[in-house]
Structure 1
Amino acid sequence: MRLGKWVSLVFAVLFCGFMVNGSVAAFIPVDNYLIACGSSQNVSVQDQVFVPDSYQSSFLLESEEESFVAAANSSLPSPIYHSLRGFTSSFSYKFDIHQTGRHWVRLYFHPLPNSGHDLNSASITVLANEFVLLNNFTFKNQQSSYLFKEYMINVTSDSLTLNFIPLNNSVTFVNGIEVISIPDDLIADQASMVSPSAPFNGLSNLALETVYRVNVGGPLLTPQNDTLGRTWENDRKYLHVNSSAVIVSVVPGTIQYPVSVTPETAPNWVYATAEAMGNANVPNLNFNITWVFPVDPSFRYFIRLHFCDIVSKALNDLVFNVYINSDIALGSLDLSSRTGFLAMPYYKDFVSNSSTGSNNLSVSVGPDMMADITNAILNGLEIMKISNGAGSLDGPYSVTDLLPNLHSKKSKFGIIIGSAVGISAAVLLIAICYCCFVTRRSKGPRQAHPWLPLPLYGNSHTITKVSTTSQKSGTASCVSLVSSNLGRIFTFQEISDSTNKFDETLLLGVGGFGKVYKGTLEDGTKVAVKRGNPRSEQGLAEFHTEIEMLSKLRHRHLVSLIGYCDERSEMILVYEYMANGPLRSHLYGTDLPPLSWKQRLEICIGAARGLHYLHTGVAQSIIHRDVKTTNILLDENFDAKVADFGLSKTGPSLDQTHVSTAVKGSFGYLDPEYFRRQQLTEKSDVYSFGVVLMEVLCTRPALNPVLPREQVNIAEWAMSWQKKGMLDQIMDSALVGKVNPASLKKFGETAEKCLAEQGVDRPSIGDVLWNLEYAFELQETSALTDPDENSTNHIGGIPLTPLEPFDNSVSMINGVNSGTDDDAEDATTSAVFSQLVNPRGR
């Protein structure tokens, strides 16, 4: 503690000296609007001057007559909060843009008490050109009465319009506005996507909101210390373990900027300070320094990491790993090899979601044990929210969803004229269609049941619906028809009722597509309702893929799709309810009782049967592409079913060996051959299933960056023990002494073959299934002799019938089994097990 105080004191002295003697190079923006809303005079904030928002030549305030102003005394923390302008109807500020490109848009809000309105309950919605910045924000029940928001918008036109819209018959207001141009190359168009690792393009077309900007190891930096007027806060409150890091610093003047990094990237005070590895009260030197940040899990985030080697005495003395959530973002990072010098800044940009199943985003640095160097540093960190597919940074609604509330008074005449024209056109169109229908009906033959919906794949706008009487309310409502291809089409009201309006107490989990709720239909059927999040990286394509795939598949080891809903721009999927949830929750991370070895084998066998059906049981094979323990669900009897087909892909045709496609999946489960070559095969699912087998045995995640380097990846770690014949040393402690060694050996050999580096060396999922069933039979017997490694086609000299995906008597129509798959599978299974007479005979 004393050392920390001395470091802080010395640091403060150095910092004050720098502030007195140092200077910050000025960046001169072409567009620089500083607006004190509602003020009658200029307002000085440090070295900036905000001008009143009355009519100016440089910007336009619309409908000033319908606004009100308020002012307060000087006891507020900043003069910019001393006044405000409120609006009783939709309002806008329009700014002329002289240099297109990226701009800061900064907004200040504080509900002054003497405005004559209840501003604490005021609804604040702000639009900026095609982006939604704020949607229905209110200070009611907020801990702070001050709100500062900073956005980065790429303005491509000659003007920027900020619309303020009061919702719910409320008012809205704003205290201050900044619109300032910044270097267009401050953020590139491309960053690196984390999990899976892939390029992320198109940042220039998206809006960003600053969520965190942290000077790691350094003091608070105010806008006066930054050439772009940014604020950098200290990192200590975000450190997961304070004792895991120590502050290091150098004189800012020693920082030498390369050509690719400028003070606009970050001030030299960011690069002159850092957190490095500390060992106080930390028993294991192989730990990581971790920062944890609460975030909205519905959005993706732009993450910029700032590095500068200010701790090494020579080049190549600092090599470490960087993690975002539990994923490796940068492995074996050698800063001196990137820059060629010490004390030279370097930064790297990433795009990531929050941690799976969490409202947090974590960033970690830790030593690379392969390099035998036990240090790691981080100098600065920026986290910015990325606008979603609707162009919003707050909620699912787009500008077009909110604009009908805008300028309603001015557009009444246009609405009347437009309505009249529209009605006339509609009447004319109906008359023409009726004439064509009568003519065609008189000429063509009659068809039975013309009202039945066509079996098309698509959203509800392409599928017929019928109005009838709701059984529940007795009032007219839209009730879905059952299509043999698509399942039931639910109304949004039905979904809302079944989940008690998406009650969070019914939440089953959160995935890449969105949240999953437990629901109960009117007839008492329990269902799982997966509600797509429009801000998720998974969207319409995955929604259609899931419907299209599952509507063609029926198997007792695949989760059944009951129906879907796509009203009101929603993407909702309704599945059969799996009472015991994902396999992963029964392996680790919860207090659920451990599964027995027999249960684990049965679950793996069930999942393998589901994958085997996908690969061989339909007209053209289907590759799941996201096999993992969270996508293997268990029903009330612990029967396993494969779920989540949003990333599934139709397999290669007979004249092809693979499908060329972008890499998608979950980090830690990805087939390395697919990752390198972007060539997808059924063997990619086999590799992922091999990772699942090791998870089942060892009860730990596929990736765990907090472990020593050699243990981070379960596939590599478990394979090293398997090759030594010592898999029993890393198995779940709950299984020790309860597993037949022969069964364990066969299980380990099966997993090892699945995890082969080359797809051609891996078995088919049918062979995997056969070996797992054999391991199960070995566990059921009391035989202790090891099975013959080469006995893949016979047991005890008795030939086995080849495993078939379905009975030959079952017909296939359009890739859909018209018979009962359960019966076919039972017949196949019995054919296998009837010949597993007595392994002791070997």
Structure 2
Amino acid sequence: MKDILRRNNPPILAISTALPNGCVGIDDFPGWEVELLGFGTVSELLRRFVIWAVKNAVAVLESLVLCSYASFTPADKYLIVCGSSQDVTFQGQTFVPDSVHSSFTLKSLGNSIVASSNSNAPSPIYQSVRIFPSTSSYKFDIEQEGRHWIRLHFYPLPGLSQNLTSARLSVVTDNFVLLNNFTFNNFNGSYLFKEYAINVTSDTLTLTFIPSNNSVAFVNAIEVVSLPDGVISDQAFSFTPFEPFTGLSDHAFETAYRLNMGGPLITAENDTLGRTWENDVKYLHVNSSAVNVSVDPSTISYPPAVTPEIAPNWVYATADTMGDANVPILNFNITWVFPVDPDFMYFVRVHFCDIISKTMNILVFNLFINSESALSSLDLSSLTGRLDVPYYRDFISNSSADSNTLTVSVGPDTAADVPNAIMNGLEIMKISNQAKSLDGLSSVKDLLPESPSQKNKTAIIVGSVVGAVAALALICLCYCCLVVRSSKASNQGNTWLPLPLYGNSLTLTKGSTTSQKSGTASCISLPSSNLGRFFTFQEILDATNKFDESLLLGVGGFGRVYKGTLEDGTKVAVKRGNPRSEQGLAEFRTEIEMLSKLRHRHLVSLIGYCDERSEMILVYEYMANGPLRSHLYGTDLPSLSWKQRLEICIGAARGLHYLHTGAAQSVIHRDVKTTNILLDENLVAKVADFGLSKTGPALDQTHVSTAVKGSFGYLDPEYFRRQQLTEKSDVYSFGVVLMEVLCTRPALNPVLPREQVNIAEWAMSWQKKGMLDQIMDSNLVGRVNPASLKKFGETAEKCLAEHGVDRPSMGDVLWNLEYALQLEETSSALTEPEDNSTNHIPGIPLAPLEPFDNSVSMIDGVHSGTDDDAEDAATSAVFSQLVNPRGR
């Protein structure tokens, strides 16, 4: 019918085909042929067409609006090739030399150097370079305020007198740090392309290049191009907490990844905003999990809320859908994994377009970001009203827990008729931190020295107010003296001072303390408690070689952990707080206060802390074998034997049992997981990370009411629902650890089929069938005594009970694990008893019962540290620690 119309009525053909790609045309309305059937003459056809157009007036207007977007022309567009003497064409765009442009100025404190080469450069814009021996800047005139792309191209031309490969440079704008001390010596590629989105709020934009360490700075090409309003909004959805996050316009963005799922590379020539979209295959967690699909780009119908500036139709015309992930059923997720900097938050934009369904409401799926549910039961057709219509959503996220990666997954909803999922495009952009930096913690003021003229202006201003200040000095001095006296009096019993929000620095009252020296270290002795050794920030820098990345041990929710060496040769672990972390001052204080009162062989010892320069740094004993998780999966470390695993679980259980019963008031860890169980050089397990710990309920209470905190996959479901915390919440988390130890897989794995994603649910289903041996680590098959495995499985099952009242105490858990170890060690002589009581097991003689050691001396509320020595002397006999498992 379409062909008949087009043959008989060229004007209709013109109306149908003249609209640019992405605009709504006649072909986008499935019923238009029916509306125009039965015409007899051209006039009748035109009359019917007018009627049809009136009926679809809204869609026609939408098409006209969208066509206006397709012709977007940036108000500011600077494409500059640096150091060149002639224009250069790159990706269909013309770059002009930086020496001839009249709309910006190049200012250098020293003479800049231009160089060129005929070598095999990656592209024409890399055949010339401008070199800056001293701080230099480009100042651009800005016609329209708002978001602008800043794109920088770097390529260390070979064969020059200056060795650009070893050059160290920083790049800043008026307000943001883009690059900090970058060098190609630490870079794997031959050239560097950086893309930033900066919100310009004045009529000029200054881009400054700063050489570092007596080196030079350089740049090959620069792009400054304005973006349309609304392409990057001020709001996105945040996960922690689960609520909209506003204020993105105050931050700078750096493009980390931009992917065209299931499609080819899209260059700047095919994107109205000059963006590059790469194929996603190298980021797939399992290559076979995705199948590529595509349609004709002209079939994509943009709604009013989405324009080609959000993403070109080539992105929405290709997609990844579910494929064969080598699992028995097709109920699994497609997952992409991206290395990211854990010190920054990320803006994540997901693009969808249902190009695979034949009818509406068939495709229903879920979106996960870092195992967090981002979108549930997403039905694109119900949101867009039609098929082949683009849709996108924005989120704020950080790296996955305990790793330097960010994961994005899609998978089918359980209620879907057809198990399938789709993703068309993905953008991940780094968000500037509180220092307004995209590279490190230094701010523009830290990197850009104050100019002489600025200093003179500052001196004049200061001089003009000195007289007024002097007039008030005596009054202020007298007032301050009175305040200080009253402050000293009031602070005698108060250790903590109010702290600034930024940096979350912990400041101890030193007016009421005695400063002592031990070598070069500062020690603070507080009147009410001993918080350990106080380290200066310089001591921390010396111990970690200025936080050398080669000494990085890992990354957690609080910040990065580095290996350090003190002046006396003592190995330590240095945990440096990250200002953008969800954990901050409260966790810093809790960690110090908790660990200063707790001493146990199976708890990681706190050596001291540092709170200078708005830093939050904790110093612990060094655990040579790192976290338990690294010995289970994800590394090449040797597999642990069953006996070693039991001994590690027993050690961790002893530490938790001590927390619950060994102190004057119980302590609930609240974040028990395999990364918080560390192993020393002898594989002795110690519980670590007390930042989320909470004092347990009083004797006359059953629980502590508090906000839910912890790690997904380990959270007690009862605590999550009711926000009532008890020691049994730690027991549940420890049950997840037990299953993780047995099965050697993460607590949550969104790549697996839905019923296997959560290890607690999956392992429990096998335990209830008595077939736990079917899912255990393959390295343990045939090497575990069945009775020991049975007791271990029963213990884990009790820990994972839905309700806390049905779970055992940590003392009972420890008792059963020690029994499982005895069964393993004496497998030929012992059998599994029929009595499931945890008070006595027939057939095993109990060691002589000694009183639970409550004779530990307490000095200023701190254990003296001898409690564990007494315990270790007694634990040679099985269960001697558990005579009084509840302690109170």
Measured against the shorter chain, the TM-score band is: 0.7 to 0.9
For residue 489 of structure 1, what is the aligned residue in structure 2? 534
2:463 aligned with 1:411, yes or no?
no
Give the aligned residue type for 1:587.
L
Match of 1:784 among 826, 831, 840: 831
From the superposition, tell whether residues 27 and 453 of structure 1 become closer, same or farther in structure 2 (CA, over 3 Å).
farther
After superposition, what is the alpha-carbon deviation per residue over 1:220-261, rounded to whole angstroms, capped at 9, x for unaligned? 333343343322223345456656544321122322334443
For 2:228, the aligned partner's letter is I
User: 2:70 aligned with 1:26, yes or no?
Assistant: yes
1:178 corresponds in structure 2 to 224
- Residue identity matched to 1:36: I
CA contact (8 A) 2:430 2:438 kept: yes
Deviations 1:308-353 (A, max 9, x none): 2212223344445555566665566554455453322233334444
1:105 aligned residue: 150
Does residue 1:750 correspond to 2:795, yes or no? yes
For 1:549-597, what per-residue CA distance to the aligned partner results, in whole angstroms no more than 9, with x for missing partners?
Answer: 2223222221100112344554432211223332223333445454444
Which letter does structure 1 place at the counterpart of 2:134? Answer: T
Question: Kindly tell me: are residues 294 and 408 of structure 1, through their superposed partners in 2, closer, same or farther at Cα, counting changes over 3 Å?
Answer: farther
In structure 1, the partner of 2:774 is: 729
**SS where residue 411 of structure 1 aligns?**
helix
Instruction: Tell whether the 8 Å contact from 1:244 to 1:282 is kept in structure 2 after alignment.
Output: no
Paired residues of 1:703 and 1:713 also in contact (CA < 8 A): yes
Residue among 575, 589, 600 paired with 1:544: 589
8 A contact 2:495–2:508 mirrored in 1: no
Offset, 1:272:
0.8
The aligned residue for residue 562 of structure 1 is 607
Matched, 1:190 2:258: no
Q: Distance in 1 between matches of 2:230 and 2:388?
A: 26
Of 649, 652, 659, the residue aligned with 2:694 is: 649
Q: Distance in 2 between matches of 1:711 and 1:28?
A: 48
Structure 1 residues 171-203: Cα deviation after superposition (integer angstroms, max 9, x where no partner): 445542414143236345232438x97766654
Q: Structure 2 vs 1, CA of residues 524 and 386 (structure 1 numbering), >3 Å: closer, same or farther?
A: same
Question: How many percent identity over aligned positions?
Answer: 69
Mapping for residues 444-523 of structure 1, pairs under 5 Å: 459=506, 462-463=509-510, 479-481=522-524, 485-499=530-544, 502=547, 506-523=551-568
- Point out where structure 2 has 5 or more consecutive residues left out of the alignment: 1-16, 24-66, 498-504, 884-888
* SS of alignment partner, residue 580 of structure 1: coil
Distance 1:589 1:355, change over 3 A: same
| Aligned pair partner of 1:630 in 650, 675, 686 | 675
1:383 paired with 2:428, answer: yes
1:544 aligned partner, one-letter code:
R
How far does residue 721 in structure 1 lie from its aligned partner after superposition?
Answer: 1.5
TM-score scaled by structure 2? Answer: 0.75
Check the 8 A contact 1:777/1:836 in 2, yes or no: no
Secondary structure in 1 matching 2:712: coil
Query: Is the CA contact 2:703–2:726 (under 8 Å) kept in the aligned structure 1?
Result: yes
Which 10-residue stretch deviates more, 156-165 or 128-137?
Answer: 156-165
Corresponding residue for 2:28? Answer: none
Taking the TM superposition and a 5 Å limit, the aligned residue runs for 1:534-613 are 534=579, 536=581, 538-613=583-658
Q: Which has the larger radius of gyration?
A: 2
Where does residue 6 of structure 1 map in the other structure?
Answer: none
Displacement of 1:485: 2.0
- Cα gap change, 1:110 to 1:580, in 2 (>3 Å): closer
The structural deviation recorded for 1:382 is 0.8
Letter in 2 for 1:512: G
Structure 2 distance, partners of 1:235, 1:198, is 29
* 1:723-764 superposed Cα distances (whole Å, 9 cap, x missing partner): 223333333445456655554444333322322333444344
Structure 1 range deviating more: 252-261 or 318-327: 318-327
Is the 1:192–1:350 Cα contact (8 Å) retained in structure 2? yes
| Partner SS for 1:394 | coil
Q: Does 1:698 align with 2:743?
A: yes
Matched residue type, 2:609: Y
1:234 to 241, 263, 279: 279
Cα deviation code 1:102-133 (max 9, x no counterpart): 44333344567999976665543222343211
**Match among 639, 645, 658 for residue 684 of structure 2:** 639
Give the counterpart of 1:822 among 851, 856, 868. Answer: 868
Is the 1:746–1:787 contact (alpha carbons within 8 Å) kept by the matching residues of 2?
no
Mapped partners of 2:747, 2:107: distance in 1 = 59
Question: What is the alpha-carbon distance in structure 2 between the residues aligned to residue 204 and residue 659 of structure 1?
Answer: 40
C-alpha distance in 1, partners of 2:231/2:667? 43
TM superposition score normalised by structure 1: 0.79
Structure 2: how far apart are the matches of 1:606 and 1:306? 48
Q: Relative to structure 1, is the Cα distance of residues 694 and 271 closer, same or farther in structure 2, using a 3 angstrom cutoff?
A: same
Of 177, 184, 194, the residue aligned with 1:132 is: 177
**Contact 2:563–2:622 at 8 Å: present in 1 too?**
yes
- Residues 37 and 85 of structure 1 are in contact (CA less than 8 Å); yes or no, is this contact kept in structure 2? no
Alignment size in residue pairs: 802
Q: Give matches, 1:669-680, under 5 Å.
A: 669-680=714-725
Which residue identity does 1:176 align to in structure 2?
I
Q: 1:303 corresponds to which residue?
A: 348
Q: Which moved more, 1:755-764 or 1:153-162?
A: 153-162
User: Cα–Cα, structure 1 residues 124 and 760, in superposed 2: closer, same or farther, change >3 Å?
Assistant: same
Between 1:736-745 and 1:200-209, the stretch displaced more is 736-745
The 1:243–1:201 alpha-carbon spacing in structure 2 relative to 1, beyond 3 Å, is: same
Give, in whole Å, the separation in 2 of the partners of 1:772 and 1:240: 36
Alignment partner, residue 135 of structure 2: 89
Give the distance between the partners of 2:130 and 2:414, measured in 1 at CA.
56
* 1:256 corresponds to: 301
| Partner Cα distance (1:593, 1:82) in 2 | 51
Q: Within 2, Cα distance between the matches of 1:48 and 1:503?
A: 42
Tell me if structure 2 keeps the 8 A contact 1:69–1:115: no
Q: How does 1:46-65 map to 2 (within 5 A)?
A: 61=105, 63=107
- Indicate whether 1:148 and 2:148 are aligned: no
Q: Secondary structure at the match of 2:70?
A: coil
Verify the 8 A CA contact 2:137 2:206 in the aligned structure 1: no
* Cross-structure match for 2:886: none
Aligned AA for 1:784? T
Q: Is the 8 A contact 2:346 2:397 kept in 1?
A: yes
Change (3 A) 1:560 1:142: closer
- The SS at the match of 1:382 is strand
Which consecutive residues of structure 1, in runs of 5 or more, have no partner in the other structure? 1-16, 472-476, 838-842
Match of 2:42 in 1: none
Aligned to 1:217: 262
Letter in 2 for 1:560: S
Amino acid aligned to 2:76 = N
Cα root mean square deviation, aligned: 5.1
Which segment is superposed worse, 669-678 or 642-651?
A: 669-678
AA at the equivalent of 2:835: D
